[in-house]
Amino acid sequence: MKMSLGKMIYEGKAKKVYQWTEDKNKVFLEFKDSLTAFNAQKKGSFENKGSINRDIAVLIFQYLKSKGIPSHFIERIEDRGMLVQQVEIIPFEVVVRNWLAGSTAKKLGIPEGKVLKKPLVEFYLKNDELADPFVSEDQMLMLELTTPSEITRLKELALQINQQLIQLFDQMNLTLVDFKVEFGKNHQGEILLADEITPDCCRLWDKTTQEKFDKDRFRRDLGSVKESYTEVLNRMKKIVGGQS
């Protein structure tokens, strides 16, 4: 597909966003090789990370589309690019936890690896200066950045995504411990899954060995980060298909 890039309109920790000159309702995402953790206090990278994450995100968006879950994804472009619908991001990260792990387990004084009886849905305000603080649903409404019906829809979509991803990763012999997603509204006002779903924003543990295949390998200096991300992609291709 011919590239129709305009000016860069945003650069985040993991992606650059460009205008798509042929359609104002579309933007181009370029996945970067950078790795960050702890609100970008720890930084790193590995070769082809952007390409690997883009391919994983494409396969997941395609898989979720087949299950009736709407996203901003349109098509993959070039080595590390993705054409998507332009959306206004709803400024809350939605986290779904199936097991307790990481800082949440530590904060609650519960050993990492506790299986929850039902998925736990949490919201975090998207604000780097405040380190993306946890917010209650009442606090979300107090901030006047969303509505009760939107909160209900966000939870509904997040739990639907969780149900489908558990099944997908189970076929890959991986446990979906937890994950973070973001949502946005397109020009028609429809709420869509946005941003990405990759090992950057999921915890994935091998069902047999409990080995980690996600960004915790970078956070905790476990090594073999590129190899783990590549293994996730390779396993996913066998299940979803070599469409990346």
Which pLDDT score, from 0 to 100, does residue 242 have? Answer: 47
pLDDT band at 244 (very low <50, low <70, confident <90, very high): very low
Minimal CA–CA distance to 158: which of 97, 199, 114?
97
Apex 130 CA angle, 107 and 93, nearest 5: 70
- 244 occurs within a structural domain: no
Out of 137-141, 165-169, 208-212, 240-244, pick the least confident.
Answer: 240-244
Q: What are the residues whose beta carbons fall under 8 Å from the beta carbon of 129, sequence distance 6 or more?
A: none
Same domain, 97 and 62: no
The pLDDT of residue 243 is above 60: no
Instruction: Answer yes or no: is 167 within a domain.
Output: yes
Confidence of residue 2 (pLDDT cuts 50, 70, 90): low
Q: Mean pLDDT, the chain, as a whole number? A: 95
- CATH number, domain of 64, equals 3.30.200.20
Look at residue 152 and tell me if it is in a domain: yes
Phi (first) and psi of residue 194, to 5 degrees: -130, -170
* pLDDT per position as a tens digit, 115-172: 999 999 999 999 999 999 999 999 999 999 999 999 999 999 999 999 999 999 999 9
**Is residue 234 in some structural domain?**
no
The verdict on residue 243 lying in a domain is no
- pLDDT of 141: 98
If asked whether residues 107 and 154 sit together in one domain, one would say: yes
- Position 1 scores a pLDDT of 55
**Domain, as residue range, for 9:** 5-85
Residue 71 and residue 165 in one domain: no
Looking at residue 193, its pLDDT comes to 98
Residues 99 and 209 in one domain: yes
- Residues 55 and 159 both lie in one domain: no
Q: Are 94 and 205 within one domain? A: yes
119 occurs within a structural domain: yes
Angle at 96 between CA 12 and CA 33, to 5 degrees: 30
Task: Provide the 3-class DSSP secondary structure of residue 146.
Answer: coil
The DSSP result for 182-205, as a single string, is EEEE-TT--EEEES--STTSEEEE
Do 51 and 155 belong together in one domain?
A: no
In tens, the pLDDT along 46-84 reads 999 999 999 999 999 999 999 999 999 999 998 999 999
Closest Cα partner for 239 from 139, 147, 164? Answer: 164
- Residue 35: inside a domain, yes or no? yes
Residues 40 and 98 in one domain: no
Residues 151 and 190 grouped into a single domain: yes
User: Based on the structure, what is the number of domains in the chain?
Assistant: 2
- Report the CATH number that the domain containing residue 145 is assigned in CATH: 3.30.470.20
